[in-house]
A and B are shown apart, each in its own frame.
Chain A
Amino acid sequence: ADSSVKAHTRRHITIKTGLYTHTPFSHYLPNIMVELSAKDYKLYIGGKWLDPALAGKLDVINPATEEVIGHIPAGSEADVNLAVEAARATIKSGEWSKATGAYRAGFLRKIAAEVRARQTMLAELETKDSGKTLDESNANIAEVAVTFDFYAGLAEKLDTMQDLPIPSGSDDFSVTVRREALGVVGLITPWNFPLLMAAWKVPACLAAGNCCILKPSELASMTCLELARICHDVGLPAGVFNVVTGLGMDVGAPLSAHVGVDKISFTGSTATGRKVATEASANLRPVAMELGGKSPMLVFEDADVSKTVEWAMFGCFLNTGQICSATSRLLVHKKIAPALMAQLKLRAESIKMGDPIESGVRIGAIVCKSQYEKVMGYVQVGKDEGAKVLTGGARPAHLPTGYFLAPTVFTGVTPEMRVWKEEIFGPVISVMEFETEEEALRLANDSEYGLAGSVISSDPTRCERVAKALECGVVWVNCAQRFNVQAPWGGIKNSGFGRELGQWGLESFMTMKQVTSYVSPNTWGWYPGASQ
């Protein structure tokens, strides 16, 4: 062991022996891991660990302590070019893209197994890097493994779906369809669910036979670099999966603009999404966009107040409110608003806040200083606009360090307020009241965004009506913020376009090739005089 390494707290340590000779020591001692891993991170390109071309690095800051806990490589355009070349060479060799789905599935299953084996380390790293609570990190990492396994299953099924016939209605022609990889795909992912957002794209992309370049957000890249380590350890062929970390303008932009990339799949802010879409469009390349939201939760008069409060909190305080689909606008029927608000206040004030690494903490730190300032800025804007603070609205007194904001609820909000219209991306709920279903829907749909929506009512017919009427891609009935790998995920309007997860995720990374064969023995007689 490196004698310069400090152990922070005593923990129960389980030593695994023998199986993985290349597993870093960090696998066995999670609390020491951060120092070791931070020294070792390099870019992962063409199966090799490389220093970035411009030899720079970016600080990794634990938002709960505001301390630098490590570094990630600062990639640049030269690294992107190298990665695209490596991916393209691997595509051209056909060893991945022309392999069977079963072959690719084998690797995806191995990756899933390694993620599970390294669960503890990954979850702690995720929490220290992003500020998300440890319980949530654990849930996220478990879901990462589930997602890799899910796409392994779909990859296996692909082999039975190749060259499917299509009725042409003609005896002279037979028509089939092939599903093929796109080629080299750029994946740009955000910091709010660092490894999970990567897992929503990477396994689907690889299952389809593509070779990809992952550019995670520079605000939380460590678990994605660990994913590269896992891919290397399971022997994923070189060039199939590449990771280039760095700033958006230094890595994300050249990746989006690279002519050698066949598609870009992006999850992140609406502003950056617009830039990515523009770069790719100039090259005539398709994109998928998963952007922001200001999703409404509609609570009708027949809702169970106690149950609703739990969902209202979960909908906007999970992940410290840093969710693209946060139900950050709460539309409550006038009749139950007083009871709901009273209970929401009490429950919100009972939420355990603290260092996210402690188990049982339910609201962690906002990811970084600039986001913290932005969210605090919106809290001030809400106050200035005349909204009333029902609860929260300030840093918790017992947490003087770290980017902490108490879960906040604004009432007395009106539709022109910025806190009603703009995405805050923090634990801030804005509440309005309504009287009729028609009014609730009008208010709900009056948004530039269209990612998610939630309806809470004990009347199933109303729920169905509202689900149909909501202008968004994801509707929750009597709940919020539930994600299932099998179901199509994505929004409309300024929340983007394209669908991830499920079969849709796989299809989004494939291209359809039709094959039309002339099966008649006759000479094509369009031009008179052809000899028969």
Chain B
Amino acid sequence: LYIGGQWVAPDAGGTLPVIDPATEEVIGHIPAGTGADVNLAVSIARATVKSGHWTHSTGAYRAGFLKAMAAKVRERKTLLALLECQDCGKPIDEAEWDMDDVATCFEYYADLAEKLDDRQYQPVDVGMSDSFHVKVRREALGVVALITPWNYPLLMAVWKVAPALAAGNCCILKPSELASLTCMELAAIAHDVGLPPGTFNVITGTGADAGGPLSAHPGVNKVAFTGSTATGRKVALAAAANLRPATLELGGKSALMVFEDADVEKAVEWAMFGCFWTNGQICSSTSRLLVHVDIADSFMAHLKIRAESIRIGDPLQTGVRMGPLVNKQQYDRVMGYIKIAQDEGAELLTGGGRPSHLATGFYVQPTVFLAKPNMRVWREEIFGPVLSVATFTSEAEAIQMANDSEYGLGGAVISADPARCKRVVEALECGIVWVNCSQPCFCQAPWGGIKNSGFGRELGEWGLEGFLTTKQVTTYISSDTWSWYGPSKL
């Protein structure tokens, strides 16, 4: 574990195996942190906050470290990508892309950290310039808990770590135990660039043993969580009991709507990317495909051909476009949904099982079902490369079907008609809308959902604001005695 600038063994001395999902073999171990480790990290982070060394430093000072970390990530890109690939099963090309995004994210927040210095003491006009001046400071929250998932292990961590540090917080990162290796490497990078001890701490371990105590610790000023809706609820309740704010990035069942005027071949590429990239394990995956009845047949025919051409295999091979799911539990879950789909009467278009040429590893073929809106495969988040398709006849129907979900993370519309795209964008009940694409994500834009997909926005300036607290400073500048209680007779 990395706590207070030191590598320490977990208090209870346990470890968790790291399993390569492509080979199903144990390739290493991570420490199994528990509540005692959490307590230590929080108390050290708190002491670091109180010292003011990091929290009261300039944004420029903190930016220096963020830039240094970005540089180290770029330098170690190959190693990090290899580790990521073996830890979570994502294809090496995607892992390398992630590492580029990680470095970009650090650089972006370094820039915002520098700009923070100029924004300090922002004046607020209250119309009483003779008697009161009002200014606003933006300050760190203090100790923040960051709980991150396994689907983009390092990137999801840095989406939180970079702005949290930029804002001046001291953080405790608890990555998913299913893929913690690159986060441990991040600790090594932090150490190597001389990030002050206590500002960045990493505790690996299970949700129950490490994540739970961390989210419930009263010494934590905020909990930022990305993961499943079920765990998110627990985290939110724990923070609420302590009257601490939380942000939640949860699941989704986002809809991709393809209208009759769409270029079918182009749309098919996005439909695949939207649900098969990252082995389908994306919170924002457009896993519900709504296609206009007029083009449905040609769309499905083309989709089948293209999906069956996807190269699925050992993720370490460059050019592979689909690897294994992250672990056996997820594999069983996704296979379970495939069976549910079949039992529900959904029609299989392509995929539906393990690729015949891959006897080992948690591989599932890119799978497409023709489904109906009342089916579980239509409504529930599967978190695998399983695309459910339904048809629509009108724009109103498509919007109604898209919004008929407990989730509200992403949505996508493909159409050649810009006015239609605008209408659909405004009507979709979600936080991210893609027009004529699906999934590309830019670190300058606010990321997050509504409804059961959670609340709060990451990335962009919103990501930084989420880790700051606003303090107003109101100064009385008049020399008059305040006379609310009448003149003093003294």
Binding site for B on A (CB under 8 A): 98, 166-170, 173, 175, 177-178, 182, 262-263, 270, 273-274, 277-278, 280-282, 284-287, 289, 291, 306-307, 309-311, 313-314, 318, 343, 346-347, 350-351, 362, 463, 467-468, 472-479, 482, 484-490, 492-494, 496-499, 502, 504, 511-519, 523-531
Contacts and interface: CB of A to CB of B under 8 A. Distances in A.
Given A178-B425, A284-B229, A362-B484, A274 B269 contact: no
B52 to A, nearest CB: 8
Given A362-B485, A513-B431, A515-B425, A476 B243 contact: no
Contacts of B476: 311, 476-479, 482
B269 A525 contact: yes
Contact of A284 (B222, B233, B272, B448): B233
Interface in B397-449: 421, 425-426, 430-437, 440-442, 444-448
Nearest to A490: B470
Given A486-B126, A516-B445, A277 B472 contact: no
A496 to B, nearest CB: 7
B488 interface: yes
Interface stretch (B253-261, B293-301, B367-375, B456-464): B456-464
B137 interface: yes
B309 interface: yes
Interface string B242-254: 0111101010000
Given A310-B485, A311-B482, A492-B221, 20 more contacts: A167-B444, A177-B446, A178-B425, A178-B426, A284-B451, A287-B240, A291-B243, A350-B486, A475-B471, A476-B474, A479-B476, A486-B124, A496-B243, A513-B430, A513-B433, A514-B446, A515-B425, A516-B435, A524-B270, A528-B311
Nearest to B94: A526
Contacts of B425: 178, 513, 515
Given A273-B243, A492-B469, A307 B474 contact: no
B490 A173 contact: no
Interface in B188-242: 221-222, 229, 232-233, 236-237, 239-241
B362 interface: no
Contact of A166 (B270, B434, B442, B483): B442
A318 B441 CA distance: 51
Nearest to A277: B240
B432 A526 contact: no
B469 A473 contact: yes
A280 B452 CA distance: 12
A527 B385 CA distance: 15
Contact of A262 (B141, B270, B450, B475): B450
22 contacts: A166-B445, A170-B442, A173-B437, A173-B442, A178-B425, A274-B240, A277-B243, A281-B246, A284-B236, A468-B137, A484-B134, A488-B470, A494-B243, A496-B243, A511-B450, A513-B431, A515-B425, A516-B441, A518-B440, A526-B269, A526-B272, A531-B265
A485 B277 CA distance: 48
Contacts of A287: 240
Interface string B123-146: 011101000101011000100000
Contacts of A289: 243
B134 A516 contact: no
B446 A477 contact: no
Contacts of B12: none
What are the nearest 3 A-B pairs in CB distance? A518-B437, A479-B476, A277-B240
Contacts of A282: 233, 236-237
B470 A504 contact: yes
Contacts of A493: 243
A175 B470 contact: no
A164 to B, nearest CB: 11
A423 to B, nearest CB: 14
A329 B441 CA distance: 49
B369 to A, nearest CB: 20
A307 B481 contact: yes
Contacts of B488: 306, 309-310, 347
With most chain B CB atoms within 10 A of its CB, the pick from A474, A514, A518 is: A514
A504 B470 CA distance: 9
Contacts of B470: 473, 488, 490, 499, 504
A479 B474 contact: yes
A474 B185 CA distance: 40
B454 A516 contact: no
Interface in B278-318: 306, 309-311
A474 B445 contact: no
Nearest to B447: A514
A309 to B, nearest CB: 8
A166 B444 contact: yes
Given A347-B488, A523-B266, A278 B241 contact: yes
B273 interface: yes
A263 B455 CA distance: 10
B126 A484 contact: yes
A484 B133 CA distance: 10
Contacts of B250: 284
Given A284-B454, A487-B474, A512 B431 contact: yes
With most chain B CB atoms within 10 A of its CB, the pick from A170, A485, A515 is: A515
B8 interface: no
B239 A281 contact: yes
B446 A516 contact: no
B269 A524 contact: yes
Contacts of A519: 436
A518 B415 CA distance: 11
B357 interface: no
Given A167-B444, A350-B489, A527-B269, A314 B482 contact: yes
A474 B132 CA distance: 14
Contact of B475 (A286, A314, A463): A463
A484 B126 CA distance: 6
A223 B181 CA distance: 59
Contacts of B457: 512
A263 to B, nearest CB: 8
Given A284-B250, A487-B124, A504-B470, A173 B440 contact: yes
B321 interface: yes
Contacts of B136: 487-488
A152 to B, nearest CB: 16
Nearest to A476: B474
Contact of B266 (A167, A170, A473, A524): A524
B56 interface: yes
Given A486-B134, A514-B446, A473 B236 contact: no
Contacts of A310: 481-485, 488
Contacts of A513: 425, 430-433
